[in-house]
Amino acid sequence: MTNDLNLPSGMIEKAPENRKDKRKRTDQPEKPTSGEQEEMDTSAPGILTQLEDNLTQTPSPPSLSPAPKNNQSLPTVSSRLTQNVSITIPRPADQPKLTSPQTKTTEAATSTPNASPWQKSQLSITAQVEAYRKRSALEKYTDAEMPLVQFASPSEPLSNIDIDLVVGWEGLPGGKLLALPFGAYATDLSNHNTLNRLIFGAVIDITKSHSVSVCPPRQCHTSKRAPICFLIYNLAEEHKQALLERCVWSSTNITFQAMSFGLRRPDYLFTIKDLTTMATDDVSAAVHKVWHDEASKAFIDTICNQATEANRSNTRKILEKFVNSMWTTRLDTKKKGNIIAPGYRVYASGEIINDDDTWYRLRDYFASREYKPWLQSPGTNFIPTRACSLCHGIDHPRGLCPFPSVAGWNGPTRREDPPLTDPMGRGSNIVPQGGRNRAKIARFF
């Protein structure tokens, strides 16, 4: 696939590392360092509600003493927010007891900048309200650890796309990400304008960017299938990282995966079927034994010997690291008659490998080997050719897609779920024209 596309090397970027750790930082971006600030942060939602009530229900706000110098530059609305918010913010334990809201307001407005930690907390309230609003905008998106979508090959996300368009994308300004909408709906070109608007709306929701743009793919003239990869560009670095942190953004309007513009080698390699055991450890041991036998070592030696003298040592370290990263998981598929027929998926960390050719060689070699768990006949290895129609991953059929099981999932679901729980369903401001698209939705989901 990569060879067909002949992607320019300049488009390769390093995939984000350790997404889980980054997510933790993003989930708590405003986490303060002092106990005083923690109390204020958790009270933010109540603050805003009370602010709105006060502003609408009280025609004459209480008279105030002049604001301190460091509040003078704030907008009038922000000053009003500050004075009202002070009513509900938990008071630090070392501060004198306040007897009434009016007293609190007066003290807050008249104290000097160096007066106390209480006064310092007042100065950051605008930022805290803004942070609350940002969090509210993200609440529509599922906030959970998302599985990694495993594509069939490194360049699979760009399949069926006009390569000239990709070259043009490289020259676009700012940070760039690929966006792959979930669902079979994305495989119909007539839906791309709608999806483009939905992705754009979501990106604005998430980043609040004033410069970002989104554009749809263009189908390769030799391809009979539609590409599903949209481009987000002119992104500030912080917005790019924000989109990559959660990776899969799922709302009732749109669900899509944000990917680095540089393509990452998949972890998934192949599946072993026709085994009559549920013991994943036995299968994993069998795979480990083969990957470390003399034949596999000879194969690794062959790749190393083809590297330049200067790179040979480093190449061997990379390949050994890849081999040692192997893991297997069981997929409880069934055959006709509802007979259990587990498949064992074999993975190794694709991001370790630096080039596509080496990744293909490794996958093809290990998929060609025979794996025989203890007391079992050898299994049959295969590489699926049909991707999941929900997430476009290759390591599972749609019926076993892991995403609908994610807590709080808003995106496309399994066949038995109501048809309109899809990207074009509830809450969308963009309604599909006529009943044709709705019929398609019912069929897809």
Residue 181 CA to residue 382 CA, distance in Å, equals 27
Closest CA to 228 of 270, 259, 201: 259
Residue 22 CA to residue 242 CA, distance in Å, equals 9
Distance of closest approach, residue 212 Cβ to Zn ion, in angstroms = 27
Residue 256 CA to residue 101 CA, distance in Å, equals 47
Options 227, 343, 393, 411; binder of Zn ion; rule CB under 5 A: 393
Piece of the chain touching Zn ion by CB under 5 A; list 195-203, 344-352, 389-397, 411-419: 389-397
Q: Which is nearer to Zn ion, 379 or 393 (CB)?
A: 393
The enclosing H or E element of 382 equals strand 380-382
Options 244, 326, 388, 424; binder of Zn ion; rule CB under 5 A: 388
Q: Which is nearer to Zn ion, 248 or 391 (CB)?
A: 391
Partnered with residue 328 across adjacent β-strands are 346
Give, as ranges, the residues between 293 and 352 that touch Zn ion (CB under 5 A): none
How many residues appear in the chain?
Answer: 445
Q: What radius of gyration, in Å, describes the C-alpha atoms of the chain?
A: 28
Q: Which is nearer to Zn ion, 214 or 228 (CB)?
A: 228
Structure tokens belonging to residue 39:
């109390």
Distance of closest approach, residue 186 Cβ to Zn ion, in angstroms = 13
Q: Which is nearer to Zn ion, 247 or 390 (CB)?
A: 390
Piece of the chain touching Zn ion by CB under 5 A; list 27-35, 74-82, 99-107, 395-403: 395-403
The enclosing H or E element of 213 equals strand 213-215
Residue 391 in contact with Zn ion, rule: CB under 5 A: yes
Q: Which is nearer to Zn ion, 263 or 390 (CB)?
A: 390
Contact 351, 264 (CB under 8 A): yes
Piece of the chain touching Zn ion by CB under 5 A; list 10-18, 101-109, 114-122, 381-389: 381-389
Contact 61, 183 (CB under 8 A): no
Q: Which is nearer to Zn ion, 227 or 393 (CB)?
A: 393
Distance of closest approach, residue 181 Cβ to Zn ion, in angstroms = 13
Piece of the chain touching Zn ion by CB under 5 A; list 54-62, 248-256, 340-348, 380-388: 380-388
**Exposed / middle / buried, residue 33 (Cβ in 10 Å: 0-12, 13-18, 19+):** exposed
Binding marks (x or -) toward Zn ion, 157..196, rule CB under 5 A?
----------------------------------------
Q: Which residues contact 58 (CB under 8 A, 6 or more apart)?
A: none
Q: Which is nearer to Zn ion, 202 or 401 (CB)?
A: 401
Distance of closest approach, residue 387 Cβ to Zn ion, in angstroms = 8
Q: Which is nearer to Zn ion, 252 or 389 (CB)?
A: 389
Distance of closest approach, residue 380 Cβ to Zn ion, in angstroms = 23
Options 212, 232, 348, 390; binder of Zn ion; rule CB under 5 A: 390
Binding marks (x or -) toward Zn ion, 100..139, rule CB under 5 A?
----------------------------------------
Structure tokens belonging to residue 320:
């050994």
**Which residue type, as a one-letter code, is found at position 13?**
E
Inter-axis angle of helices 44-57 and 76-85, to 10 degrees? 110
Distance of closest approach, residue 414 Cβ to Zn ion, in angstroms = 10
Distance of closest approach, residue 311 Cβ to Zn ion, in angstroms = 37
Where helices occur in 43-147 by DSSP H, the ranges are: 44-57, 76-85, 101-110, 117-123, 125-138
Residues touching Zn ion, count (CB under 5 A): 5
Distance of closest approach, residue 413 Cβ to Zn ion, in angstroms = 11
Q: Parallel, antiparallel, or unpaired: how do β-strands 175-181 and 255-260 relate?
A: antiparallel
- Report the SS3 class of residue 374: coil
The enclosing H or E element of 244 equals helix 237-246
Q: Which is nearer to Zn ion, 180 or 388 (CB)?
A: 388
Residue 329 CA to residue 280 CA, distance in Å, equals 7
Residues that bind Zn ion (CB under 5 A): 388, 390-391, 393, 401
